[in-house]
Amino acid sequence: MRTTGKVLVYLSIGIFIAIGLLLSYVKIALPDVAKSKNLKIEYTPARIQRGEYLANHVSLCVDCHSTRDWSKLSGPIFPDSKGVGGELFDETHGLPGKYYSPNITPYQLSNWTDGEIVRAVTTGVSKNGNALFPIMPYTHFREMDQEDIYSIISYIRTLPSQKSTVLASVSNFPMNFIINTIPVEADMKSMPSTNNKIAYGKYLVNAAACSECHSKKEKGENIKGLEFSGGNQFNMPGGIVITTANITPDTETGIGKWSKQDFLNRFIAYRDIALNPKIVSKTDFQTVMPWTMYSGMNDNDLEAIYLYLKTNKPVKNKVITFALE
């Protein structure tokens, strides 16, 4: 008996040491991505213009890195807050911690090289080497065209420099360890020709990270077979529960019966609302779908997105998108 006892003690000590070593490895040696490139992007007018379009209407950098006005439909940004950050993404969105969007105006980024911004946005590693939480969809941005990433950076360099104080993000246990294993090297792909509408639509859906909200996840990965079928919940103040819609081509519970024009119209309706934001009362329909910003996408891009979504597998999943508890 006594020997068995001793063996157990040694075994537990061994296991403790092994776990300790593993955790120190994860904390100290990871994230393991290459140093940022020594890079100076040429901020041409064409790049700034393309970047403005992508950052405001497709990849929504500006949506997350500004302050949003939730007294209005779909939470448009306060116009003077472009890039100042401070939005909180936390447990009420089902996240394993509290993540604040940093200031991305020159106030914060002027001492970052272009290479450091490219690395942060496409691999999830900040200037100081810390891992970022993938609420910022770098797991999508890593597959964008390098030229588009350069354009976005050219544009954010033009944002008015504004001071703001943003709290540091905190991951709960065990995400404070796991987070270091998430960043991987970028895998930039060239943008398909806009004539190849389905491939181009797929590129946009990735760049806009639609699946981050519209696909159910398990341990950070989309659940296979349920992509784009919705069902993720957001608990809003006032007992409002918003659930993401099924945007697979299922005819009863998805967008299977929608014509291209039906699809476009849903976005186009928000172009007016973007100009004249609509105040919502406590019981009015409210949504986290960033309609206001996406509505600035041009019709050709929206059409390509529609055509791509129609090629996905239909999934039956009835969703009530808006409910009061």
Binding site for ligand HEC (CB under 6 A): 55, 59-61, 64-65, 89, 99, 101-102, 104, 117, 120-121, 126, 132-133, 135-137, 141, 152, 156, 169, 205, 208-210, 212-214, 242, 244-245, 247, 255, 266, 287-290, 294, 305, 321
Distance CA 281, CA 256 (A): 32
What is the C-alpha separation between 26 and 161, in angstroms, rounded? 36
Q: How far apart are CB 276 and ligand HEC at their closest, in Å?
A: 18
Q: Which two tokens stand for residue 12?
A: 């537990």
Q: How far is the CB of 311 from ligand HEC (least distance, A)?
A: 13
Nearer to ligand HEC by C-beta: 184 or 288?
Answer: 288
Smallest distance, Å, CB 65 to ligand HEC? 6
- Write the CA distances from 279 to 73, 76, 151, 237, 270, integer angstroms: 6, 11, 34, 16, 13
State the Cα–Cα distance between residues 71 and 311, nearest whole angstrom: 36
Q: Virtual CA dihedral for 246, 247, 251, 256, nearest 10 degrees?
A: 170
Using the minimum distance from each CB to ligand HEC, give the nearer residue, 117 or 186: 117
Residue keyed to tokens 């987070």: 179
CB-based burial, 248-269: b 16+ in 10 Å, e otherwise: bbbeebbbeebeeeebbebbee
How far is Cα of residue 19 from the mean position of the Cα atoms in its chain?
Answer: 32
State the minimum distance, in angstroms, from the CB of residue 225 to ligand HEC: 19
CB of 294 to ligand HEC, least distance (A): 5
Q: Which residue, 179, 191, 298, 319, is CA-closest to 254? A: 319
The nearer residue to ligand HEC, 14 or 187, going by C-beta atoms, is 187
Q: For residues 27-53, b (16+ Cβ closer than 10 Å) or e, as one string?
A: eeebbebeebeeeebebeeebbebbbb
Nearer to ligand HEC, 29 or 179 (CB): 179
| Closer to ligand HEC by Cβ: residue 12 or 158 | 158
* Shortest separation between residue 13's beta carbon and ligand HEC, angstroms: 35
Query: Minimum distance between the CB of residue 74 and ligand HEC, rounded to whole angstroms?
Result: 7
Nearer to ligand HEC, 2 or 180 (CB): 180
Task: Please say which residue, 60 or 315, places its beta carbon nearer to ligand HEC.
Answer: 60
